[in-house]
Amino acid sequence: MIYSPYTQLPTLAELRAVALTIRRRTRSRHGAWSDPGRERAPDERLLGMMGDPFDSVSDVSERLGAVETYLRDRGDRRSVFLTVYTEMTANVHDGIESGAFDDPEWVRDYLVAFADRYRTALVASERGNPAEVPVAWQLAFDASTSGDTILIQDALLGVSAHINYDLTYALRDVEIDPERPSKLRDHNRINGILQQLVDVVQRALADVYDASGYTRVDELLGSLDEEFTLIGLKEARSLAWRNAVLLTDTESRLIRRFVHWRVEAVSTGAGHFILAPSTDQSVIRALRNIERERVPMDPLREAFHRRLRERVIEID
């Protein structure tokens, strides 16, 4: 069956993301979140760790874990996304070993291709080559190094860019045929793991802020999930699959251009929304002040893993 863009009408969330992207483009390419200090020299150690493509799930797990530790030790908030992502990789790997997936070899390829999308964006950004970095990822990297975000924004910016931008192309690269229905089930299982981990990191953040004496955490957590991320993880996962279907099932240049435009517009709009959510700004300011007094990346990681020990991540 040949699909067209009209087989799936855009959701209201998607339209909001596109509208926000268009509005922001009346400013600069990256808006107010471009990193004014980006003239710094590239981190050669980081580039050495991430310069080569991943070649296996074990390679993904080991190198992402090493980079997460390296960045966290340096107080680099780009590590916050990796705290979540390394755990997702470990859980998917466990699922492969336990037989939880219909097509374990495809899932291995999927995991490597997905991680390599993040790797290439990080390397291009670190080398100072913005033209090679998806806008959603540059927003995430610039914001996390600006010192103006809070930790949940750092985590969600990475999750959003990885799903709203990278996932379409990772699916295309590993191919969704043959046996498309079983691959769709495995795709949903992987992203279900990520959804559970985002829930865990939200609870871990609540632990960190509670320990600092902040009592309004529930106000922030209550506004996250679908509203905070604009398009929501569930819809983003579905949209990535639909995009991959369009790229697979048609040779039309027009439809392919439409998909590429939609991927960039939605991922960029979602990133801008995370940076300026409709949440009470007094809550954001209070949390930012707490984090500036003591950047709680180590406590966050400890709380995250403590919460993980209390919860079994399920693969449906």
What per-residue confidence (pLDDT) applies to 192?
85
Q: Which two tokens stand for residue 22?
A: 């268009």
- Min mean pLDDT across 61-70, 139-148, 177-186, 220-229 is at 220-229
Buried b (16+ CB within 10 A) or exposed e, 76-105: bbbbbbbbbbbbbbbbbbebbeeebbebee
Burial of 299 (0-12, 13-18, 19+ CB in 10 A): middle
- Min mean pLDDT across 59-68, 120-129, 196-205, 236-245 is at 196-205
What per-residue confidence (pLDDT) applies to 12?
58
pLDDT tens-digit series, residues 230-256:
567 778 888 999 999 999 999 999 999
Q: Which two tokens stand for residue 259?
A: 């998909």
Radius of gyration of the chain (CA): 19
pLDDT tens-digit series, residues 88-122:
999 999 999 999 999 999 999 999 999 999 999 99
pLDDT tens-digit series, residues 32-53:
445 544 566 899 999 999 999 9
What per-residue confidence (pLDDT) applies to 28?
40
Q: Are 136 and 268 within 8 A, CB to CB?
A: yes
Q: What is the DSSP string of 144-169?
A: HHHT-S-HHHHHHHHHHHIIIIIHHH
The more confidently predicted of residues 294 and 60 is 60
